[in-house]
Amino acid sequence: MATVSQNFMKLFRGSSGRTPADAPDVAQKLTRRSSGLGELARLWESETPLCVLDLGSTSPSNIRFFTERSHKIYSEDLLVASTEAHLVTKDEQGNVVLDSRRFLADNLVYPAAHFDVVLCWNLPDYLDESLVRPVMGRLWSVLKPGGMLLAFFHTKDAGPDSPCYRFHIVNKDTLEMQRIVLRRETRRGPTGAVHTAVSDGFRLQRVFNNRHIETLFRDFASIKFFLARDNVREVLVVR
């Protein structure tokens, strides 16, 4: 059985040099320890119900984890939402971008200062460039003062095809990671046969360096980095 650190390396090294034969299976789940999640753990024991926003794919484990502790969990998959065709537009230079105003009119619509914790996971690395700053601005506004946001960032060693994962909380400092495979709509081909096109998930859009991350969260009160051995930085910011 692979150790946790071996799993780390396998997951975040990206696809460079990897053959389809040793690519993770769709259903395969790998575990990793998360220092950032561990830092948040003391909050989960709070007797006051917390409002938690999970921005990853719908995770039954996460919903169970929080509801068992009497917290309220909100689930919103922003990566999937960003694939809506009606968001595509052009900027002043004629470049194809996503309409961030429209995106924020449909998503992350919550009262100001509503959440105690936002679980951002690896969203900033995979979200379209035109949405990253507007989304982070909105997240700042929906977090309570003193509220915390956890995000993961690849380091420069990650390849562009680094697989995108969904994160399931196992316990206070352990996550299960499951590769995301997008399912497209089923269509009938010219011969009448039914085809289901399946893409390989989301592509890594960029790699932030520390300065970029600090700039991204410049409106927040504090920022804390946790370096892991798997080419990932965990970042915990406090509003």
Partner 1 sequence: MSAPLSADLAQIGKSVVIKGELSGSEDLYVDGQVEGTIALKGNSLTVGPHGQVRASVEAKGVVVQGKLEGNVQASDRVELRKSAVVTGDISTQRISIEEGAYLKGKVDIQGKSEKAAGK
Q: How far is the CB of 57 from partner 1 (least distance, A)?
A: 8
Footprint of partner 1 on 161-220 (CB under 8 A): none
Q: How far is the CB of 63 from partner 1 (least distance, A)?
A: 5
Indicate the residue type of 66.
F
- Nearest residue to 206 (alpha-carbon basis) of 216, 192, 197: 216
**Residue for token digits 């230079």?**
93
Q: Which stretch binds partner 1 (CB under 8 A): 32-40, 69-77, 144-152, 213-221?
A: 69-77
**Residue from the set 24, 43, 76, 141 that interacts with partner 1 by CB under 8 A:** 76
- Nearest residue to 135 (alpha-carbon basis) of 150, 117, 123: 123
Decide: is 74 part of the binding site for partner 1 (CB under 8 A).
yes
Tokens encoding 91:
């900027």
The backbone torsions φ and ψ at residue 36, rounded to the nearest 5 degrees and listed phi first, read -65, -45
Q: How far is the CB of 165 from partner 1 (least distance, A)?
A: 14
**Residue for token digits 């990793």?**
32
Of residues 96 and 109, the one with the C-beta less far from partner 1: 109
Q: Which distant-in-sequence residues (6+ apart) come within 8 Å of 66 by Cβ?
A: 44, 50, 52, 72, 73
Of residues 80 and 227, the one with the C-beta less far from partner 1: 80
Decide: is 44 part of the binding site for partner 1 (CB under 8 A).
no
**Residue from the set 73, 127, 131, 143 that interacts with partner 1 by CB under 8 A:** 73
**Three-state SS at 209:** coil
Give the binding site for partner 1 (CB under 8 A): 58, 60, 63, 66-67, 70, 72-77, 80-81
